[in-house]
Structure 1
């Protein structure tokens, strides 16, 4: 087996919708598995059978995995700038199309996509799930 590293994100009950949106924008191969579809042994809680146990989106650019958070407090903040998903596109037009797709349905631009001080292109968008995406095109 080849070693790899992937981004994993826990969302507050919006994993299925988020991954389906990202699939619509980025394409690739999407797999979603709900708790009701797996055998639960040794779990310290009983999750909602409709909650996402594991989702993975495999794109030519990389892999994103995630699941629904099991936060007992119900206060699970996603939006912030302490992290982002960095997507390096092949072209400025391709990056703009991704930004437009991620902003669809309630997302917002966090930083305009323009030439950065280091010579490439860079911008940020928060999708409608609160996830910050940084888009980059090398100079």
Structure 2
């Protein structure tokens, strides 16, 4: 069996909120597990009971997993990385972009025809994560 690559994100105490927002945008099944839900003992730190130990958003095309950070805030808004959504159609991409923008995101690169064919654009969601949208 070949390995797979998926995304893992961490935020300082609000990862569950982020995953719920992305579920609103992309659909899928979301499973969340707080530290109170686990029976983990002997951990090298004392997590808050309501902190997210592990969450998984299962989408038709992949997984986005995450958990709350225990050691402070990480820089989020940057262009060194992005989440790439390969849309089924131009209309699909436009709808998801509109949903992100309506929820407080910012379209920083207009979704339009790309030099390599198809369409491409970028949005920073309300949490500062850059999403690239592509449709052929």
- Could you tell me the TM-score, scaled by structure 1's length? 0.91
1:82 positional shift: 1.1
Q: Is the 8 A contact 1:34 1:54 kept in 2?
A: yes
- Distance in 2, matches of 1:83 and 1:10, equals 14
- Distance in 2, matches of 1:28 and 1:7, equals 15
Describe how 1:37-48 pairs up with structure 2 within 5 A.
37-48=37-48
Q: State the number of aligned residues.
A: 136
- Distance in 2, matches of 1:80 and 1:97, equals 24
Q: Equivalent residue for 2:49?
A: 49
Secondary structure of the 2:32 match is strand
**Structure 1 residues 4-13 or 83-92, which shifts more?**
4-13
Residue-by-residue CA offset, 1:35-94 (whole Å, 9 max, x unaligned): 1110122311101111111111111121111111112xx342111111111000011110
- Could you tell me the TM-score, scaled by structure 2's length? 0.93
- Moved runs in structure 1, 4+ residues, more than 4 A? none
Q: Which runs of 5+ in 2 are unaligned?
A: none
Q: Equivalent residue for 1:93?
A: 91
Q: Equivalent residue for 2:115?
A: 117
Q: Equivalent residue for 1:128?
A: 126
